[in-house]
Structure 1
Amino acid sequence: MKRINEYRKLFNADANTDLKQLKTTYRNLVKEWHPDKFQDEAEKAIAEEKSLKIIDGYHFLVSIAPETREVNQEDYRITTSTTGIADFKHKGLLLEISFLDGTTYEYFGVNKNVVSKMVNCDNPYRFAKRNIFNSYLYRKSKKDLELA
């Protein structure tokens, strides 16, 4: 959640910001922080770091945007309703679930208690289907997108 808030603050966006506005803000930030605009090496290095953060933030916010989730809703529904869980990892408030069909989704804001209940139940897939898949903000993992 910290990452989401950080990127939203960088782009002056909220949960309902549309992709068109996000893209406009992204282009303006990239123009402002492009490393070629700076002559001093120290400033150029700072601008490079900032521009990489802007690029990463843009791609991240696009992946969790309502429009993106709406377009991919059918694939997500099929994956979560017909494919079992191959593996999962939890770190902080991020739960990464890999499915048997090779797709991986990241769920944001999943606390330790929920993961503990999932681990200790008879059927983790059924628990996740009832308590995680439709309750938390999610996105398709970058790792999976690169493999496809």
Structure 2
Amino acid sequence: MKRINEYKKLFGIEQDMSLKTLKSTYRDLVKEWHPDKFQAGDSLAVEAELKSRQIIDGYHFLVSIAPETKANNLEAYNETINSPIIDWHHKGLVLEVTFLDGNTYEFFGVNKALFVKFCQSDKLSRFAKRNIFNTYTYRKIKKSEVEA
């Protein structure tokens, strides 16, 4: 959740933003902070390099969680969450789940208590479908080997 809020703040987003608006905001920010605009010895050049990397990372992240992206990939997502879970990791409020089909998704905002219940569940997939998969913000972070 922290990362989502940081990137939304960087792009000046209050709520969900369309991909078209996000792209134009991204272009404006890149123009403003492009490292080539600053002299090589200038202290702003280093800051611009870091800021431009942050802008690029933020753009790709926000595109991956955008409602339009989710709608376009909903069929593949539903197919993936119906395959068995083979691995999972929890750090902070982020749950990373790897499925048998090779896809890995991050779910944001999953607290420790829910993660413990998830781990103790007899049927991981069933518990996750009911309590995590369709409740929390998610993004695909790794594609299956077949797709790549």
Query: Normalized against structure 1, the TM-score is what?
Result: 0.94
SS of residue matched to 2:133: coil
1:22 and 1:43 mapped to 2: Cα distance?
Answer: 25
Deviation at 1:15, TM superposition (A): 3.2
1:85: how far off?
Answer: 0.2
5+ residue gaps, structure 2, are none
For 1:138, the equivalent position in structure 2 comes to 138
Which residue is equivalent to 1:22?
22
Alignment of 1:107-126 (within 5 A): 107-126=107-126
The ranges of structure 1 where at least 4 consecutive aligned residues each deviate by more than 4 angstroms after the TM superposition are: none
Q: Are the counterparts in 2 of residues 29 and 54 from structure 1 also a CA contact under 8 Å?
A: yes
Query: Which residue of structure 2 lines up, in the alignment, with residue 7 of structure 1?
Result: 7
Offset at residue 6 of structure 1 (A): 0.5
Contact 1:35 1:44 in 2 (8 A): yes
> For residues 33-92 of structure 1, what are the alpha-carbon distances to aligned partners after superposition, in whole Å with 9 as ceiling and x for unaligned?
0011111432111100000000000000000000000000000011112x0001000000
> Which residue pairs with 2:105 in the alignment?
105
TM-score when normalising by structure 2: 0.94
Confirm or deny: 8 A CA contact 1:15 1:65 kept in the other structure.
no
* 1:145 to partner: Cα distance: 7.6
Contact 1:93 1:109 in 2 (8 A): yes
In the TM superposition, residue 123 of structure 1 has moved relative to its aligned partner by: 1.1
Alignment of 1:16-55 (within 5 A): 16-39=16-39, 40-55=41-56
Identical pairs, percent? 61
- Is 1:90 the equivalent of 2:52? no
Aligned residues: CA RMSD: 1.5
Unaligned runs of 5+ in 1: none
1:108 CA drift (Å)? 0.2
Secondary structure at 1:98 match in 2: strand
Point out the more displaced range, 9-18 or 71-80. 9-18
CA distance in 2, matches of 1:77, 1:121: 21
What is the number of equivalent residue pairs in this alignment? Answer: 146
Question: Where does residue 69 of structure 1 map in the other structure?
Answer: 70
Equivalent residues of 1:88, 1:97 under 8 A apart = yes
